[in-house]
Amino acid sequence: MSAFHGYAAPAAGKPLEPFSFQPRPLGSGDVEIAISHCGVCHSDLHLVNDDWKMSRYPLVPGHEIIGTVAEAGSAVRGLVPGQRVGVGWQSGSCGTCEWCEGGEENLCAQLQATCAPGPGGFADRIRVSARFAIPVPEALPSRDAAPLLCGGITVYTPLREAGVGAHSRVGIIGVGGLGHLALQFARAMGAEVTAFSTSPDKEAEARAMGAHRFIATRESSALKAVRNSFDFILSTVAADLPWKDYVSALRPRGTLCLVGVPPSALSLPGFALVGGNKKVTGSTIGSPGQLREMLEVAARNGVRARTEAFPLKDVNAALGRVARNEVRYRAVLEL
């Protein structure tokens, strides 16, 4: 069997190096994908740096994969060689628990993450369970579509599950890889959309991507000025933020939902939640069914990642730009 070739971090925080590895045997329910594009999610950087204390090295990151089916196992139905597919954070689950049976595989306790341990998509090929290889609508160019497989689904699912629509006032915290897609999806759903950002130079582009309003959060009184304003606030930021102010910015029955994981525990006075029946929740990626729906919604509504392309060999340059919050708005590796 010939080896697959990619890039791996040899140890926590180290630059990625060329890395060859033997793939797992192709199971009857698996597909082998020849990768053409892979987005660089901030989670890849968290994994390289072992921020979550779960990384195993050498570590091949990458979980916003687009490619074509090179080979399909004997039991695979509905996918054929040559077909374009995408793979996100999840590439396996138990298939038998109540969550898998109910089509919420992303909540399965035995979720297999594409690149943790991997090997993930910063490589020329990958083998995954066919259930998690999602056909990509023709209208979506591969480079713009790759970031939808993790960034897109992670923001689409909570907006959709919250019932966001024309009546909703939505705030998106962070205009990064996830946030710039959240602005577009929330706008496509008909909401009034506000971007919260530490980067004032992102204002014009945030507005072009769907924000009606832009709040520069480094200005000290900015959050106090929007008390009682939002039905749903989505945080895409992995930093400790003034959560009490964001809960105060919710209207009655409003929800603050985290998809970025802050380093510290949240501290909130009980009164912040009790008055106004407010909720604080979290959300993790989405199911294969939701991925199909999200890609269709993106294709129909012109939701596209704004990308910076890098050849795979420049993966460390791409990761460096992610670390410094320089990317506008998603780095994508091209093979």
CB of 330 to ligand NAP, least distance (A): 7
Rounded Cα distance, 83 and 70, in Å = 8
Task: Answer yes or no: are the C-beta atoms of 186 and 236 closer than 8 Å.
Answer: no
Listed ranges 30-38, 123-131, 254-262, 270-278: which one lies at the site for ligand NAP (CB under 6 A): 254-262
> How far apart are CB 273 and Zn ion at their closest, in Å?
29
User: How many angstroms separate the CA atoms of 311 and 325, rounded?
Assistant: 20
Q: Is 193 in the site for ligand NAP (CB under 6 A)?
A: no
Integer Cα distance of 9 and 12 in angstroms: 7
- For residue 60, the surrounding DSSP H or E stretch is none
Q: Residue 241 in contact with residue 235, Cβ under 8 Å?
A: yes
The option from Zn ion, ligand NAP, none interacting with 317 (CB < 5 to 8 A, set by class) reads none
Residue from 8, 41, 60, 115 touching Zn ion (CB under 5 A): that is 41
Question: Which positions ≥6 away from 16 have C-beta within 8 Å?
Answer: 7, 8, 9, 48, 61, 122, 315, 316, 319
Report the partner that residue 169 touches, choosing among ligand NAP, Zn ion, none (CB closer than 5 to 8 A by kind).
Answer: none
Alpha-carbon 59 to chain mean position: 19
Q: Note whether 325 binds ligand NAP by CB under 6 A.
A: yes
Interface with ligand NAP, residue 182, by CB under 6 A: no
130 is a contact residue toward ligand NAP (CB under 6 A):
no
Asked if residue 145 binds ligand NAP (CB under 6 A), the reply is no
Q: Where on the chain is the footprint of ligand NAP (CB under 6 A)? A: 41-43, 46, 150-151, 154, 174-179, 197-199, 202, 236-239, 259-261, 283-285, 322, 325
Q: Where on the chain is the footprint of Zn ion (CB under 5 A)? A: 41, 43, 150
